[in-house]
Amino acid sequence: MVQATSLPRNEAGIAAAISILKQRFGDRLQTGQAIREQHGHTTTWITNQMPDAVVFAETTEEVAGVVKTCAGHGVPVIPFGTGTSLEGHVNAPAGGISIDLSKMDKIVEVHAEDLDVVLQPGVTREQLNTYLRDQGLFFPIDPGANASLGGMAATRASGTNAVRYGTMKDNVLSLEAVMADGTVIRTASRARKSSAGYDLTRLLVGSEGTLGVITELTLRLQGIPEAIRSARCSFPTVDAACRAVMMTIQYGIPVARIELLDALSVKAANQYSKLSLPETPLLLLEFHGSDAGVVEQAGMFGAIAEEFEGFDFEATSSAEERNALWQARHDMYWASLQLRPGAKGISTDVCVPISKLAECVGAAREKAEDMGLLAPMVGHVGDGNFHALLLIDMDSDAERQKADEYIGWLNEMAIEMDGTCTGEHGIGQGKRPYLQQELGEATRVMAAIKAALDPKNIMNPGKILDI
């Protein structure tokens, strides 16, 4: 496994920056070990690399002030949302200042007629949708975790609804960001389209804090559908389930979500969420539209499923039943850990063209079994993305080596299939070698952009690129 490596520290600069920021922020600058460990926290296997201090900023001006101070002393800046990222994005390999944006949690303005919202980066996905509910609107990007929307933009997050509503890159209209020298820019207006210059919005979406700190977002919204219908269907094999997915997409059925759980994942869900599903590969689906439309769409999928030996097909419009199924899906990380108590979960994801999905998932399952790895798999398979969660004993060198070998093999296979080493986890620290394999010379262009916008390499250093 790719582990976090340390970068040279600027001890004098860090000490000077902390002294200056302490005078300005008082108790909103914290240097206690517990706080610092929390802000180097990662929910996966990468070693915790703590920042030297954490600043709880409340305004764009405060963020700009922190960045200017750090730029003047050559001190790294690491943006922090909720800490749900999986590839070491919030680690501080060269030390520095973590800017915690959780207090910047205001929903500034909802433009219901334009179907957009302006908000601060600390607003979480669940907070926004609770706020919007009474207005008949919702924000569709759902990575599972209750992540901050600033963090979701920074990592170009995706999730269960991507097959219909796209990913964060499709749903961010504009950004306000503090750049490496402390200047504040706005990347675009609220207009739905523009030909005005470089697309800086898309440049910053997915940049993982390496180019700037996002301090405000304008997001697309959707109307809450008139009707929502969920369905589930079991299959004898993963291959059969994936082929049903491919045909569903090819037939143009406007499905909102298509999620795959392999047999191991279903077993985990049954145990953790007290369900009684057949412990074979399972597809979970959701349809949005009119009352008649969602019934028709579910029926069309049911007919497709029959062609691939699907069984135990059920569809429901009951909110309670729907929520139970999707909550079980969102709890899969914790449910999977119960399959091997005491083990650590190493999560990795890849994404391939839909036509390669069945082959890729089948090969991934076979490889895990051949290597003796317990690896439940789930996926947002409507867009070719799936995840493997390797359950290993982190104290065992042999198991860590196996996991490392498997992750490398899986990423390389996806790239060979004209796919990507990460569908939605981002690069961070953990996926850097595979980015080079995937994009080759294009990473040199990325490095040139990074050098131009952040010549001192203070913005979240050690992430995405090996510089």
> Quick one: pLDDT at residue 4?
74
Q: How many residues does this entry show for the chain?
A: 467
C-alpha span between 337 and 28 (Å, rounded): 36
Give the span between the Cα atoms of 390 and 400, in whole angstroms.
10
Rounded mean pLDDT, 262-277 = 94
Q: What 3-state DSSP class applies to 343?
A: coil
Q: For residues 293 and 272, give the distance between their C-alpha atoms in angstroms, rounded to a whole number.
A: 33
The CATH architecture one would assign to domain 227-333 is: 2-Layer Sandwich (3.30)
Run of H or E including 457: none
Q: Which of 46-50, 180-184, 278-282 has the lowest mean pLDDT?
A: 46-50
Quote the pLDDT of residue 318: 92
% of the chain exceeding 70 in pLDDT: 99
Q: What is the pLDDT of residues 121-169, one digit of tens each?
A: 999 999 999 999 999 999 999 887 889 999 999 999 988 888 899 999 9
pLDDT computed for residue 293 by the predictor: 95
Cβ(45)–Cβ(1) below 8 Å = yes
Q: How far is CA 143 from CA 86, 126, 192, 387, in A?
A: 12, 11, 24, 12
Residue at token pair 């890159």: 169
- The CATH number given to 341-425 is 3.30.70.2740
- The mean pLDDT of 400-418, rounded to a whole number, is 95
pLDDT digits (tens, 9 = 90+) for 363-390: 999 999 999 999 999 988 888 899 999 9
Q: Which residue has the tokens 């045909």?
A: 247
What value does the mean pLDDT take over residues 287-304? Answer: 95
pLDDT digits (tens, 9 = 90+) for 419-437: 999 998 899 998 998 999 9
Amino acid 151 reads: G
Strands 377-380 vs 255-261: parallel, antiparallel or unpaired: antiparallel
Mean pLDDT of 280-291: 96
For the chain, give every residue range classified as CATH 3.30.465.10.
107-223
Average pLDDT of every residue of the chain: 94
pLDDT for residue 269: 95
Average pLDDT over residues 297-322: 94
Tokens of 66: 């922190």
Provide the percentage of residues in the chain whose pLDDT is more than 90.
82
Instruction: Indicate the pairing of strand 53-56 with strand 97-100.
Output: parallel
| pLDDT attached to residue 173 | 97
Distance from chain centroid for Cα 218? 19
pLDDT for residue 1 is more than 60 = no
Three-class secondary structure of residue 360 per DSSP: helix
Q: Is the dihedral of CA 341, 148, 352, 287 positive or negative?
A: positive
Q: At what angle do helices 291-307 and 238-250 cross, to 10 degrees?
A: 130
Residues 1/404, Cβ–Cβ less than 8 Å: yes
320's CB contacts (< 8 A; 6+ apart) are none
Separation between Cα atoms, residue 217 and residue 220, nearest integer Å:
10
> Average of pLDDT values for 322-347?
90
Instruction: Give the C-alpha separation, 208 to 413, whole Å.
Output: 25
Q: Calculate mean pLDDT across residues 291-295.
A: 95
Query: Per-residue pLDDT for 265 more than 80?
Result: yes
Residue extent(s) of CATH 3.30.70.2740 domains in the chain: 341-425
Q: May I ask the CATH architecture of the domain 107-223?
A: 2-Layer Sandwich (3.30)
Q: Where does the chain hold its CATH 3.30.70.2190 domain(s)?
A: 227-333
